[in-house]
Chain A
Amino acid sequence: MFNPILENPSPDFDELIRVLKGEKEPTHVPLVELRHHEDIIKLIVEDYMGETWAEVWDDPDHYYRLRVMMYYRLGYDYVASAKGGWSNLPQPKRRMADDTAEISRGKQREWVEEGIGIIENWEDFESIPWDRVEAQTSHYEHMARYLPDGMKIIARTRYFADIFEKLLGIEGMAYMLYDDPELAETVFEVWGQKVLKHFEEIMAIDSIGAVFHGDDMGHKTGTLIAPNDLKRLVLPWLKKFAAVAHANGKPFFLHSDGNLFRSDLMDVLIDDVKIDGFHSFQDIILPVTEFKARYGQRVAALGGVDIDKLVRSKEADLRAYIRNILEVCMPGGRFGLGCGNIVANYIPIQNYFILLEEARNWQAVSYGKHP
C-alpha cells in the first residue's frame, strides 16, 4: 500500500529551480503546487503523520511547524506559503456557505464577493488610510524557523485579484472602467505601489526562494477584461514585480485561471513580463501537455493535472492520464507535476496520493531513483 509520507526526504530547492528553468534535465519528478487547502494539510498531518493539529490563531509556532513538515514529508522542495493579509485595509464582504467537500468537517467555505468591493467612489478611496496599509509578513518568519536543509519557502502574492476581489469587486471594476476610468486607474496605481513595496521587502528574505504570484485574469473562454486593458493596467505591474524577484535571484511564477490563449497575452507574459513558470491548467482550456508543446522551450509548466479528472476519474484512468502528462512534459525539464489548480479539499485524498505515487513510480522507472 502506498505510503505518501517519506521517512528521509532530501529536498533540494536549488535543483528544483534549475530544472524548472530548463538549466538541467530532471533526475526526479519535481512536485509543484500553488498550495494545499487547510483541510488537506490537517488531514495529512493528523491521519498520516500522527501529529496533533493546531489552528494558526491558537498556536502559530505549532501550526507553521506542521505546515512545513507536511510539505517536507510529502517530498516537496519548498513549503507553499500560508496566506498573508494586509493591515489597516477595510474588510471586503465575504460570502459564506456550508462547505460541500467531504472532509470539510462542518466548516463553511468562504467565497469571493463578486459584486462591489470596498471602493465604489472617490469618497471610499479617500477614506482608506493608504499610508498605513501594509502587508503582513510574520508568517514567513514563522515558517523559516522550521525549514529543513535544502528547503525554501515560495511566497504568495496577488495584485489584480485583490483589485477585483477586495478593492472594487468584479462588477464594480467592470462598471468603473467605463464610468470612472480615472478612479479605476488610480486604484490600479496605488495598489500596484503597495504590492511593489511588499515585493521589495519579501524578495530580500533569504528563506524565500521564489514567488508564486496569483492573479486570475480570465474565465473559461477568455480574459476578464480586454487583453489590451490587461496590458495597460496589470502587466506593467507584473513586470515590475518580476524584475524585483529576478534582481534578488528568485524566479517569478504566475498563477492565473482562465483562457489567456486567445490573444498574444502568454507571449507577452513570457517575453516582456518574464514569468519563469505558469500555473493553472484546465484541460477544457488548454491541457498542460499542449502548453508544454507550445511554450515549453521558454517557460515552465507548473501543475497540470486537471481538477475535474482528479476528482471524478476512476483509478486506472487517472493513473494513465497522469503517466501521459509525465511522458510528455518531463523531458527537457521546465515542468513540475501537481494539480491543475490547488489541492482542493474536495479532491479525494486517495486521488491526490495517486498523483504522488505516479510521480515516485515514474522517477523510479525513468531514473532508478527511489525517494
Chain B
Amino acid sequence: MSILEDLYELVIAGRDKEIGGKVQQALDEEFAPDVILNGTLIEAMREVGRRFENGDAFVPEMMIAARAMRRALEVLRPHLTKQGVKPVAKLVIGTVAGDMHDIGKTLVCMMCEGAGFEIIDLGINVSPDRFVQAIQENGAEVVGMSALLTSTMMSMKTTIEAISKAGLRDTVKILVGGAPVTQEFADEIGADGYAEDASTAARLAREMLGIV
C-alpha cells in the first residue's frame, strides 16, 4: 500500500496513535500538504460518512475516525498554512437557546472539520445574538443549528430572524438538524438545508457552497 493509502486506512480505522507519524512520513516524502488533506484525509472522512449514512458505521466509528483526523491535522496544519491552503469555509455551529444537547452537534463538528471546514463551535444553549455575533466576528459562510426537543427547536426560527434582522441572511447558508427537526420544519423557518445526520450535514454544507 502506498503511504497515502495507509493514511486513508488509518483515518477509517481510527488509529490516532499512528497517524501523526504517518502524516510526517508523507510530508518527509514530499507529498504536498493539500494533497494529503484533500486527496486522502478528507476522502477518508467522506468514506466514513458514506458508511454512516448507509448504516455500516455508527457513532463510535465516526468518533474514532474524527479523532484520528484531528490528530493528523495537528501535524499537517502548520504545513497547510505555509502552503497557503485555507479551510474551504468557516462554519459557525451551536445547539440553540434552551437546549443543552451536544452529541449531535459534536458529531457534525467532527464531520465538517473532516470535510475541510474551519469550525467555530459556540457550544450549547446559544442565544440568537451569540450566533449573530459569531457570524460577524468570523465572517462565517455556513451556520449550523442543532436541537433535541420540539420546544427548543423553535429557537431556530428566532435565530434565523435575528440573523435576518442583522442584515446577514444573504451572507450565510443555514443548515439545521436534530431529533425533532424535519425538512418540512426547515422549509417553514427559512433554513437553507436540513441534515438528518452528521455525515449528511458535512456533505450538504459543501454542496450549499458549490464545493464538490
Contacts and interface: CB of A to CB of B under 8 A. Distances in A.
A147 to B, nearest CB: 32
B124 A225 contact: no
A174 B67 CA distance: 11
A224 B55 CA distance: 11
A114 B63 CA distance: 13
A175 B63 contact: yes
Given A175-B63, A308-B182, A225 B58 contact: yes
B179 A282 contact: yes
B60 A225 contact: yes
Contact of A346 (B101, B149, B155, B196): B149
A66 to B, nearest CB: 25
A114 B55 contact: no
Interface stretch (B2-10, B40-48, B102-110, B131-139): B102-110
B197 interface: yes
B150 A312 contact: yes
Interface in B130-189: 149-152, 155, 179-180, 182, 185
A308 B150 contact: yes
B59 interface: yes
B100 A95 contact: yes
A99 to B, nearest CB: 8
Interface stretch (A46-54, A214-222, A315-323): A214-222
B67 A114 contact: no
A174 B196 contact: no
A226 B63 CA distance: 13
B64 A226 contact: no
Given A114-B101, A171-B106, A307-B150, A223 B58 contact: yes
B114 to A, nearest CB: 16
Contact of B150 (A114, A170, A346): A346
A106 to B, nearest CB: 14
Nearest to A224: B59
The range of chain A's interface size is 35 or more
Contacts of B151: 100-101, 311, 344, 346
A263 B125 CA distance: 34
Interface in B45-80: 52-53, 55, 58-61, 63-64, 67
A97 B100 contact: yes
A220 B64 contact: no
B60 A177 contact: yes
B14 interface: yes
Interface string A107-133: 001011011000000000000000000
Contacts of A219: 59, 104, 179, 197
A238 to B, nearest CB: 19
A165 to B, nearest CB: 11
A182 to B, nearest CB: 16
B98 interface: yes
Given A175-B64, A220-B197, A311-B151, A111 B101 contact: yes
B58 to A, nearest CB: 5
Contacts of B63: 171, 174-175
B150 A311 contact: yes
A175 B14 CA distance: 10
Contacts of B14: 178
A278 to B, nearest CB: 18
Query: Nearest 6 pairs between A and B by C-beta?
Result: A346-B151, A111-B100, A100-B98, A174-B60, A114-B103, A95-B100
30 contacts: A96-B100, A97-B99, A97-B125, A98-B98, A99-B98, A101-B151, A109-B100, A114-B101, A114-B103, A114-B106, A171-B103, A173-B60, A174-B64, A175-B60, A178-B64, A219-B179, A219-B197, A220-B179, A220-B197, A221-B197, A222-B58, A222-B197, A223-B58, A224-B58, A224-B59, A282-B179, A308-B150, A308-B185, A311-B151, A344-B149
Given A174-B63, A282-B179, 16 more contacts: A95-B100, A96-B100, A97-B98, A100-B98, A100-B152, A109-B98, A109-B100, A114-B103, A114-B106, A171-B63, A171-B103, A174-B60, A229-B58, A311-B151, A312-B150, A346-B149
